[in-house]
Amino acid sequence: MRELALLVATRKGAWIYRGDAGRREWSADGPHFLGHIIHHLVLDPRDRRTLLAAAKTGHLGPTIFRSTDLGRTWSEARRPPAFPKAAEGEMGRAVDHTFWLTPGHASEPGVWYAGTSPQALFRSEDGGETWEGVAGFNDAPAYRDRAGDAQDGTPDGPKLHSILVDPRDAAHLYLGMSGGGVHESRDAGLSWAPLIDGLEVVAGFDASQWAFHDPHCIALCPSNPDRLYQQNHCGIYRIDRPSNRWHRIGRAMPPGVGDIGFPIVVHPRDDRTAWVFPMDGTDVWPRTSPDGKPAAYVTRDGGETWQRQDTGVPPAEAWWTVYRQAMASDTCDPVGLYFGTASGSLWASADEGERWTPLADNLPPIFAVETAILD
Amino acid sequence: MKVLIPSALESYTGKSEVDAEGENLGELFAALDRRFPGIRFRVIDEQDRLRRHMRCFVNGEQVFDLAQPLSAHDEVIIIQALSGG
């Protein structure tokens, strides 16, 4: 019988929560890699056996751990993501951490993509055992010089994230850079083009320059791969391909809440439905729940209107941050939603966000939450 | 030579002290990596730089250069710098 699992990556290790059929009872399996910084823990949906964990510690360098038995045993990648050795006299780049993991297309078993900090794209063709840089991105002069180095971008380094594979075409890829904008490849990563029209940037900067853009999270609708939603540093957006223009749909959010946040999650079967978890992006950018009152917001009409979903979460004095990978949906009906906070609480809703219940209160800071169907 | 391993790397070596050979620090880490695959990259990045919070001492002296010559009677200590939280 298949069961649902939550893959929880934290500042101090990883946990796997296994749920019953009704998503009422959950059992925790963990910690795995206690003390390791786990940025992402992802199950391969093509075999439902292979787990990859992007790991490092405060001291030790970055690596990828692999399990082919759902986390009972782990081994280390033989060649984790790493840049080529620089020529003598040149300042070479070094991967600080792998931030994002994406399984490849269904037609390409064993293929995975990884996004790192400093921002670069890596690909594995053997289930995560060995990784090679995607030269069409990493070495292209336009990207090499402007993707930012370890000291650029967010305090923990710029992040290449939201690597999306078009389910209709293995060669059609999207990615986000924070900062650095949204980019698209139609030739399996050989070449890339920015996809930033319509996106706003911080006042005073030139929106035509992709380096000034800061997508926080991008999601592609499984039910309509031509529709993508984006939570950006400067609002919530939607794009309907083949148009190249994003539209700011976050203007319809309540003014006191705003449309700033990290994560965005889409419905598995309805391309009009998406969820966000707003944060305070005013003043010095506290990045906490606005006014200390956390809530998800859902749109069911493609962003024309938004409804608040806060039943079950603390009504006040909850100064949460939900990071960009830390909110996820399952594929059940009704859809289950899950999020983890930077203060270590894990929450679930079995009814599309109408009511939230806590699954765990005292985990380390949660970096990522993914759902998976286990055999 | 004797090489002291920090607790964070004992998952590779299985013990806190190993014997290994190398004409210099770089060769020593290459030898360690052959026996304990993956250990080198956790300590030294792809540009052959010691990672920011890792340190190596040879006979009590801190060294940063992988070309540092070694002899069979040296003692090498790999440690994590005091940092983190």
**For residue B85, is it within any domain?**
no
**Yes or no, beta carbons of B38 and A82 under 8 Å apart:** no
CB A165 within 8 A of CB A175: no
One-letter amino acid at A143 equals Y
Average pLDDT over residues A188-204: 97
What is the CATH classification number for the domain harbouring A202?
A: 2.130.10.10
**Yes or no, beta carbons of A94 and B38 under 8 Å apart:** no
Chain A contact for B84 (CB, 8 A cutoff)? yes
**For residue B49, is it within any domain?**
yes
**For residue A3, is it within any domain?**
no
Question: What's the whole-model pTM score?
Answer: 0.96
CB A278 within 8 A of CB A258: yes
CB A202 within 8 A of CB A211: no
CA separation for the pair A72, A56 (Å, rounded): 20
* Structure token pair of residue A40: 């992402």
- Which ipTM value was assigned to this complex? 0.90
Beta-ladder partners of A238: A229, A247
Look over chain A and give the mean of its residue pLDDT values, rounded to a whole number. 95
**Yes or no, beta carbons of A63 and B53 under 8 Å apart:** no
Encode pLDDT of A113-130 as tens digits.
999 999 999 999 999 999
Q: What is the pLDDT of residue A153?
A: 65
Walk across the sheet containing B75-80 and list its strands: B17-19, B2-4, B75-80, B54-58, B61-63
Tokens 């490092």, residue located: A56
Q: What is the pLDDT of residue A126?
A: 98
Interface with A, mutate which of B10, B42, B79, B83 (most A CBs under 10 A): B42
Whether pLDDT at A277 is above 80: yes
A–B interface: beta-carbon pairs under 8 A: 55
Among A139-143, A358-362, B23-27, name the one with the lowest average pLDDT: A139-143
- Tell me the residue range of the domain where A289 lies: 92-368
Among A73-87, A174-188, B69-83, name the one with the lowest average pLDDT: B69-83
A58 to chain B: closest CA residue: B84
Interface with A, mutate which of B43, B45, B82 (most A CBs under 10 A): B45
B35 Cα to chain A: minimum distance (Å): 13
Confidence of residue A374 (pLDDT cuts 50, 70, 90): confident
**Yes or no, beta carbons of A60 and B44 under 8 Å apart:** no
Whether pLDDT at A142 is above 90: no
Whether pLDDT at A29 is above 60: yes
Structural domains in chain A (count): 1
Closest to A59 (Cβ–Cβ): which among B46, B47, B84?
A: B84
Chain A contact for B7 (CB, 8 A cutoff)? no
**For residue A7, is it within any domain?**
no
Confidence of residue A375 (pLDDT cuts 50, 70, 90): confident
Encode pLDDT of A290-330 as tens digits.
999 999 999 999 999 999 999 999 999 999 999 999 999 99
**For residue A15, is it within any domain?**
no
Chain A contact for B43 (CB, 8 A cutoff)? yes
Q: What is the pLDDT of residue B84?
A: 60
What is the CATH classification number for the domain harbouring B71?
A: 3.10.20.30
Structural domains in chain B (count): 1
CB A73 within 8 A of CB A29: no
Q: What is the pLDDT of residue A22?
A: 85
A348 Cα to chain B: minimum distance (Å): 29
pLDDT in tens, chain B (85 residues): 999 999 999 999 999 999 999 999 999 999 999 999 999 999 999 999 999 999 999 999 999 999 999 999 999 999 998 766 6
* Structure token pair of residue A320: 């949460």
Q: What is the pLDDT of residue B81?
A: 84
**For residue B9, is it within any domain?**
yes
- Tell me the residue range of the domain where B53 lies: 2-80
**For residue B58, is it within any domain?**
yes
All residues at 6 or more sequence positions from A374 whose CB lies less than 8 Å from its CB, including other chains: A2, A3, A4, A5, A18, A43, A48, A70
